[in-house]
A and B are shown apart, each in its own frame.
Chain A
Amino acid sequence: MRKRHVADGESAFVYEAAWMMRLLERPIVGDESRYDALRAAIRAGANVDRPIWVCGGGTLGERLPSVAVAVSAPALSEPVGYWPEDMVIRVPAGMTLARAREVLAARGQELSIDAADPARTTIGGLVASGICGSRRLSRGSLRDLLIGLTIVDARGDLLSLGGRVVKNVAGYDLCKLLIGSWGWLAAIVEATFRVRAKPEASRAIVIDLGDVRESEELAAKLLGSPLSPASLDLLDGTLARRRRVSDGAALVAGFEGLPENVNGQLARVEALLGRHGRTLEYNEYSAIRQDLSDMALGERGHIRAAVPSGQVVALVEQARDVAPGVAMAAHAGSGVVLFDLAETPQADRAALIRLLDEMSVARLIPRPVAGCEAEPMARLSADARWMLRKVKNAIDPQRVFGRGGRFDAAVGDDPAGRFQ
């Protein structure tokens, strides 16, 4: 047994695989698959009725109860399968996003997902959190790119869901349930994605705004036009200045693809909006996207809210009215608003939360900061809770995974055992 730093300032007991195996009464079935140790650990944990906690890179992982058995998918550095000509890759869940990008880049391809701290974020954590950044507007979210998963369930069985083809309707698509499952249903050990060719050109245009309100009309014009932005992000004055994008609020529209296409569209943005803009080259454009994803990190205090895209500006404006000290950005095309609470007075934080409550806006608050409790899981509707209990009872009836964690709380913890 070894104590290891697991997640953000919190330590838990990580049972080493060899020790776990001794715990097992029966020999490990199957061959020498690379996941045997993990499977054994999960079975052993289940046998001794300890909750199993699946860890990724710990980027934003929650605090583990000290009784938990922490497991993580092996941090292998090579893909399990890569079919560049099919534009499909299967990677181990413990691989970091940065490494996956590296492997793909060597063949001129990419997984078009933006996420916080790619050197630490794992593929398993990415799928399990189901959260991604700017380019989902054009490239699709994880849900659209994920075509298969391999998981270890609470019985220690290795199961393959979905497949490696881009179209597949055989049986239930259980992959969908693992997306955003926060380690609550099973341990993900491999994920298969459709990837794409790295675009020949990737540039963005920054439009300075006198006021965030202007962005409403501009964003609507752009999204209603024939142009197809890869991303459309809004930064308020505070963030735009902090990230040296502009002196005031700014709208950043990214375009990717053939150079003719990208340059043509950049030129048309100015004509369409009747505004001059400043072009950002590849590096600056990716840095802004990374910055926005990284807002979730650290102790600064962060709220992530989700609304229909047409309501982004209204939310941003109302938030500014009730909490003038809050810094904000938004993935305006996909309806995600990011609040940075670092330099926000406590009263403003409380006012902001009240506003989100009043507007029934779905949100995540990864960490507590003064005046603002952590809400690492969104509040779920009664119907979602009903369905999740059924799913949990089917997939992990002993409630081995994530017991007592954010999901149990969100779904309605029932200490008597099975969810009703």
Chain B
Amino acid sequence: MISSDLINQIAHITGPDAVVSDADERRVYEADAFTLVRRRPGLIVLPGSAEQVAAIVRLCNEFDTPFVPRGAGTGLAGGALTRDDAVMISLNRMRAIRRIDLRNRIAEVEAGVINQRLTRAVESSGLHFAPDPSSQQACTIGGNVATNAGGPHTLKYGVTVDHVLGVEFVDSAGGLRRVGGEADEFHGPDLTGFVVGCEGTFGIVTAAIVRLTRLPEAVRTMLAVFDTLDDATHTVRDVIAAGIVPAAMEMMDHGVLTAVEAAYQVGFPQDAAAVLIIEVDGPSSGIERATRDVLNICNANRARTVRVAKDDAERALLWKSRKRAAGALGRLTTSYCTQDGVVPRSELPDLIREIGEVAVRHGLRIANLVHAGDGNIHPNIMFDERDPDEVRRALSASCEILRSCIRRGGTVTGEHGIGVEKIEFLEMQFSPAEIGLMLRVRDMLNPRRLCNPDKVFPDGKGCWEVRFPGKQAPV
């Protein structure tokens, strides 16, 4: 419940058309892509400038009302969930690309700019914004910064933080702040790098200065088909150990590839255990040798077939199949939950084998989509949400897999974040003292806890009831 006084004052700042207070209209905002918890925000406001965001935050402070930043709502961890006593601040109207500086290869963009739009704006100059989450047609730069988003090509190009030089944000009290800048080198702690990935827990990002990366001159995309999962994961391990840094190295197992084939007819053999999409890129000199090295490693690991995409159309088809793979899975099951964990890359063969055992033990189907070069797994656990026992087993399976990631020296989230979904797992990964230190930093920067409350950290646990173990969302 938001006081009408606050609503009026916010409307005064933004104009009434930027305020959504009607109960039905607010429903649209009740979940992000983590659909298992739904909360209808008390109010949604769509400010048009950083100054408006700051003024709204100051008002919220005055009225002692929590507020939550939201980009496109494609988040997979429930980070943008907003209770009915809180104001959702949507950055969607802040879509200006303030400046493109081709000479220094940087751009200053507002938080609501869609990831892919930035790349479109600079690709005629031979540049792109390298972080390429599969949601890039919808997600915002602000959301990418808040979650430190990755994508298939982060293997070579790095995640969002590697491409952010400076951040403009509104602090939890409503002050407009800037950290970082345009230069690569900075002196003193990496404040910009720290703000990236904080899931909006102490401020609202209103703009970022990002690095633009040259498009590669030559690209070779390979498809390798394997008869056993071990052969595929050993290939991944061997490519990394050989010191080759492909632009991307993605794995789809039997469950995923059959679903994809049904949806897109890419030509994946239905009886294969796994396929790898491996891409190498760079200057044309040397690309043939890199391709050959990868092909040799695939063959040494008994690949049934390996082929290099012959043209852009075939390459695009391979990537379409990958980026929409999880969507295709939706055809096989009523519900599924996409997990996100990371292990050291040499652990991948054992972990994938263990996931197979977990599936058998719990009587479930689990299909794996893997950013294999990074050791980042997305097991999709399929279940029937009408069957409480199956739901329970899916929950246990999910938990076992994430615990295994921790045991193997990895992490419970490589790119989706903690949000509300994984608060309990944070406690498994870090000691109380380590979490205590993070909390002290948060409390210093968000002392009244009005900014995106009850997210990420254990003190928010219990505020969100998760009904099912995961989500029905493509990755």
Contact = CB atoms under 8 A, between A and B. Distances in A.
Interface string B161-182: 1100000000000010111011
A168 B344 contact: no
Interface stretch (B5-13, B252-260, B409-417, B462-470): B409-417
A388 B285 contact: no
A124 to B, nearest CB: 15
Given A165-B343, A167-B375, A167-B376, A260 B441 contact: no
Contacts of A311: 104
A157 interface: yes
A167 B342 contact: yes
Nearest to B447: A390
B183 A306 contact: yes
Interface in B280-327: 282-290
Given A83-B344, A364-B187, A384-B191, A168 B414 contact: yes
A381 interface: yes
Interface residues of A, number: 86
A216 to B, nearest CB: 10
A74 interface: no
A269 to B, nearest CB: 11
B90 to A, nearest CB: 22
Nearest to A108: B243
Contacts of B162: 140, 143-144
A180 interface: yes
Interface string A362-384: 10100000000000011011011
B89 interface: no
A268 B282 CA distance: 14
A306 B182 CA distance: 10
Interface in A386-405: 386-388, 390-391, 393-395
Interface in B436-459: 437-438, 440-445, 456-457
A178 to B, nearest CB: 7
B434 A161 contact: yes
B246 to A, nearest CB: 13
Given A87-B240, A166-B374, A176-B193, A261 B186 contact: no
B344 A88 contact: yes
Instruction: Tell me whether chain A's interface is mostly helix, strand or loop, or mixed.
Output: mixed
A157 B432 CA distance: 11
Contacts of B289: 258, 260-261
B283 A227 contact: yes
B346 A85 contact: yes
A257 interface: yes
Given A86-B240, A144-B162, A165-B343, A172 B198 contact: yes
Contacts of A9: none
B461 to A, nearest CB: 14
A267 B374 CA distance: 33
A380 B415 CA distance: 31
B276 interface: no
B413 A258 contact: no
Interface string B398-419: 0000000000011111111110
A264 interface: yes
Contacts of B198: 172
A210 interface: no
A321 to B, nearest CB: 21
Interface stretch (B20-28, B36-44, B60-68, B147-155): B147-155
**How many B residues are at the interface, by size bracket?**
35 or more
Interface in A138-197: 140-141, 143-144, 153, 157, 159-161, 163-174, 176-182, 185, 196-197
Nearest to B178: A383
A228 interface: yes
A260 B237 contact: no
Contacts of B433: 157, 159
Contacts of A108: 243
Nearest to B199: A169
B437 A174 contact: yes
Contacts, number: 267
A169 B188 contact: no
Interface string A38-62: 0000000000000000000000000
Contact of A378 (B188, B430, B440): B188
Contacts of B194: 172-174, 176-177
Contacts of A196: 243, 245
A335 interface: yes
Contacts of A393: 444
A261 B280 CA distance: 13
A84 interface: yes
A121 B282 CA distance: 33
Q: Which of B179, B185, B190, B283 has the most CB of A within 10 A?
A: B185
A226 interface: yes
B183 A377 contact: no
A308 B413 contact: no
A86 to B, nearest CB: 4
Nearest to A179: B190
B103 interface: yes
A180 B240 contact: no
A173 B193 contact: yes
A310 B212 CA distance: 13
A172 B442 contact: yes
B274 to A, nearest CB: 20
B138 interface: no
B441 A174 contact: yes
Interface string A262-295: 1111011000000000000000000000000000
B158 interface: yes
B389 interface: no
B283 A167 contact: no
Contacts of B416: 169
A394 B411 contact: no
Contacts of B371: 167
Nearest to A81: B409
A307 interface: yes
A381 B186 CA distance: 12
B342 A171 contact: no
A356 interface: no
A136 interface: yes
A11 interface: no
A309 B184 CA distance: 8
Nearest to B168: A383
Contacts of A263: 285
Contact of B154 (A131, A167, A174, A257): A167
Given A164-B409, A180-B189, A335 B441 contact: no
Given A180-B187, A261-B282, 6 more contacts: A87-B243, A165-B375, A166-B345, A170-B422, A257-B286, A390-B445
